[in-house]
Chain A
Amino acid sequence: MNLKAIGATALLLASGAALAADGAVADQFKWLTFAVFGAIIGLTMYITWWAAKRVHSTSEFYAAGRSVSGVQNGWAIAGDYLSAASFLGIAGLISLYGYDGFMYSVGFLVAYITVLLVIAEPCRNIGKYTLGDILAFRNDPKKVKTIAALSTITVSTFYLTAQMVGGGVLVKTLIGIDYEVSVIGVGVLMLAYVVFGGMVATTWVQIVKAVLLVTASLLLVMFTWAPYGFSLPAFLQGVVGDAKVQAQVAKLLGDAAANMSAEELGQRLLEPGLFLKNPIDQISLGMALVFGTAGLPHILMRFFTVPSAQEARKSVIWAMAIIGGFYVLTLFLGLGAAIHVGPASIAGLDKGGNMAAPLLAQYLGGGADSVLGNLFLAFVAAVAFATIVAVVAGLVLASASAMAHDIYVGVIRGDRATPEEQVKAARISSVIVGVVAIFIGIAAKGQNVAHLVGLAFAVAASSNLPAVFLTLYWKRCNTQGIVWGMLVGAASAIALVMISPNMTYPQAVTRDARKVLEGEPAAPAKAAVPAVPGDGLLCELFALRDCQKAEPAKPAAPAREAKPGAPEKLARLRDTLPTLTDAVERDKANQEIAKLEKDIAKAREDLAKVAGQTTSMVGLEQPFFLLKNPGIISIPLGFLMVILVSLLTRDRRSEAMWDELYVRQNTGIHAEGATAH
């Protein structure tokens, strides 16, 4: 559940099939959507054409010739960070879950920028183009470049897969073209930016996209807020008093809502606990997000594009202000969507809430039947699309630079390659990574890839961050420590996810599918259960025998009648349908029938998929690791391995280079300067 929030792109896939039939845009307005998409694609292609004339040297390809100003880089970082997941997903979560939606946007997602205080500036001072360059400064270049490249490619591939699948589904949902065509479209566009325009085009596409995104959100917020006289308390009162909001909270709380007044229900949306229920899982995810983003290779690369340390700092301020401002806007977008569109309608189109912002745009423009409403919708959708393509381009550039610069030039050619050869290698690598991404995107059709985003962050946090942080700040840190720390950090993150609730457990799938098909038996009334204290942290993390997990108190529940299975309900509905005379009731019954048919088909499909299996991919009947995100274990483990192995081994070069690093990382003296043009 948690991971879905950040992997919102991936969530779109749940709605893909449903929307293809009766999408968000009516057929007679499709041309508008195409026109707006065309205009934005045209603009980015013009940027690429302009950039292509400027990209000749290695530094220009990987680092935009170190000519990007602090302000520009700030916008580009914001662009990299504000992926479709944060734009569509968080507005959606706020519209459905209120306060917990904010916690996503603010508590964790934004906090990482501050971590960049520690990492960004020294990295820019000692690095050249890649993560491998940073680590190679005082360690054995061949070894650390190989391992850094492997880690970069792993992280980027996980993230890329989720983005490709999300992008494919988004385009399919909005303009109704095939999933495969959408994925290829996203891939080809992104390759065009990277191969022809390198970092110059990638940076400018990010800047343009970030400006469009902020502009679009600002406009929507103005329209949403204006009726309340731009007063925050008045707006919040409007939210609390809204019947649709109260209904949503009552639904989320279930039995507990029985004794609450309408006002109390509305107020509850602004309090925590509607979405995130396990604080340890929350902290684990938070750690992965905060530390992971600081270790994401495509974000680190951004700091190589600025000419000086001052500009690097300036770019962090700008990025923080833009992203912070943007998230204040999402508060209005999410709550605005909750009032105007209603949580029920949003979740009806997409369970994860991804359609909240586009639907709000449609409403504010005048509704589903108006030209302006559909123009607004098309604009928001096109910006979301540009967002996915731009983020994917950044990821591909990061993987390609790891392959070309670290592996090919650094390890295979021993740093002896002409600038022409290097740029050629970078372009070829980009094409390879891009084509692989398209294939993976198509192969992953219909898969739930949401957990891959959380995994990408967890690997980056457990492998890249400890290595970078310790090589920058700890004298004893050496090559062996980094190699082992990165291996163990990445491997433990991946292994823990393999045994976590993210994987498919056939017995649970079977149980859920049966519940849909056969219904549930009647349950007697339950007495209230007091809270059970747990046996300690370990029991919260792993499903160990004789180990009690802490359980919160449960209120008494009244007896429940038996629930019939979906096929039974369907038959009953079909029987009553001919007797209905009221057109509204008939419509409702028909919708209900369509929904039941879909549920039954889904349950049967699930049963067929797991037929004959009793254990997950790694042979477990149920999750052994109880959290969805491995961060809380794998991040400390990554740090610990670097420290332990470094203490046990000696590396003269690592120690000898410390003084030089010490001066340079903080002063930037002799750092890669701006290249002469």
Chain B
Amino acid sequence: MQLTDKHREYWQRNLRLTGVLLAIWFVVTFVVIWYAKELNEIVVAGFPLAFYMGAQGALIVYVVVIWVYAHRMNKLDREYGVHEGED
């Protein structure tokens, strides 16, 4: 198979999207844990912030990150005509 410029462009956009999303993922996962003690200084509704992040916040961010990825990629697939399947 020949690699066309169109393929390269698709690949670049894919990489950029993945990079941005993984950066968000990294901050939510590792940075929050590392600074859990400092974040706990911020209190929301009587409970420390890191607690909320651990309990629900991170999970919600992960779901959003993956949803954005799938949504953008499906759009990209159609735009570049590399869409599989009938739907």
Residues of A within 8 A of B (CB): 99, 102-103, 106-108, 110-111, 113-114, 117-118, 121, 233, 236-237, 270-273, 279, 282-283, 286, 290, 307-311, 313-314, 316-317, 320-321, 324-325, 327-328, 331, 659-660, 662-664, 666-671
Contact = CB atoms under 8 A, between A and B. Distances in A.
B7 A663 contact: yes
A233 B73 contact: no
Interface in B44-87: 45-48, 50-51, 54-56, 58-60, 62-63, 65-67, 69-70, 73-74, 77, 80, 82-85, 87
Contact of B37 (A272, A321, A660, A667): A272
A320 B66 CA distance: 8
Nearest to A94: B55
A237 B70 CA distance: 39
A297 B73 CA distance: 25
Nearest to A323: B59
30 contacts: A99-B54, A103-B33, A103-B36, A106-B54, A106-B55, A107-B58, A111-B58, A114-B29, A114-B65, A114-B66, A117-B22, A117-B66, A117-B69, A118-B22, A271-B40, A283-B30, A286-B33, A307-B85, A309-B73, A310-B85, A313-B69, A317-B63, A320-B62, A320-B63, A328-B55, A659-B2, A659-B3, A663-B1, A664-B1, A670-B1
B34 A107 contact: no
Given A111-B58, A114-B65, A272-B40, 13 more contacts: A103-B33, A110-B58, A114-B66, A117-B66, A271-B40, A286-B29, A286-B33, A313-B70, A324-B62, A660-B1, A662-B11, A666-B10, A666-B82
Given A272-B37, A662-B3, A667-B10, A308 B63 contact: no
Nearest to A658: B3
Contact of A236 (B34, B47, B74): B47
A97 to B, nearest CB: 12
A324 B57 CA distance: 10
Contacts of A316: 66, 70
A309 B84 contact: yes
Given A117-B21, A663-B3, A666-B11, A110 B59 contact: yes
Contacts of A328: 55-56, 59
Give me the 7 closest cross-chain CB pairs, A-B, nearest first. A667-B82, A324-B59, A313-B70, A102-B54, A308-B85, A308-B84, A114-B25
A113 B58 CA distance: 12
Interface residues of B, number: 47
Interface string B6-30: 0100110010001001100100011
A321 B33 CA distance: 21
Nearest to B7: A663
Given A117-B69, A270-B51, A324-B59, A667 B22 contact: no
Contacts of B74: 310, 313
B3 A313 contact: no
B70 A111 contact: no
A316 to B, nearest CB: 6
A232 B64 CA distance: 22
B22 A114 contact: yes
A317 B66 contact: yes
A279 B62 contact: no
Contacts of B45: 233
Contacts of B50: 99, 271-272
A114 B66 CA distance: 7
Contacts of A111: 25, 29, 58, 62
A26 B42 CA distance: 48
B59 A314 contact: no
Contact of B77 (A270, A279, A310): A310
Contacts of B63: 317, 320-321, 324
B59 A327 contact: yes
A331 B1 contact: no
Contacts of A106: 54-55, 58-59
A282 B36 CA distance: 13
A152 B65 CA distance: 30
A666 B14 contact: yes
Contacts of A311: 85
A314 B74 CA distance: 10
B51 A113 contact: no
A348 to B, nearest CB: 27
A117 to B, nearest CB: 6
Contacts of B48: 270-271
Contacts of A313: 69-70, 73-74
A233 B44 CA distance: 10
Given A117-B22, A316-B66, A659 B51 contact: no
